[in-house]
Amino acid sequence: MSIYSELDWFKSSYSGSEGDSCVEVAFAAGAVHVRDSKERGRPGFVASSAAWRDFLERVSH
């Protein structure tokens, strides 16, 4: 079993009703995991919590 299957993934509230065109995010200690909801078996990427906060701050303006 991989770490990806053990994480609690969620989609954005902005996802469409179909739910197949979205990014999924899971929080872990000191990190944020991101993956494509259509390609769950493919590797996503991991960002530090600080980098994720910076990203969200920049895209919200």
Between 54 and 23, name the one with better pLDDT.
Answer: 54
23 close to 15: Cβ distance less than 8 angstroms: no
- pTM score of the predicted model: 0.75
Mean pLDDT value across residues 12-39 = 81
Query: How large a percentage of the chain has pLDDT more than 70?
Result: 79
- Residue spans of the domains in the chain: they are 3-59
Mean pLDDT value across residues 11-28 = 76
Question: 50 to each of 10, 17, 38, 56, how far by Cα in Å?
Answer: 19, 31, 26, 10
Query: How large a percentage of the chain has pLDDT more than 90?
Result: 41
Q: How confident is the model at residue 1 (pLDDT cuts 50, 70, 90)?
A: very low
Return the structure tokens found at 18. 């179909």
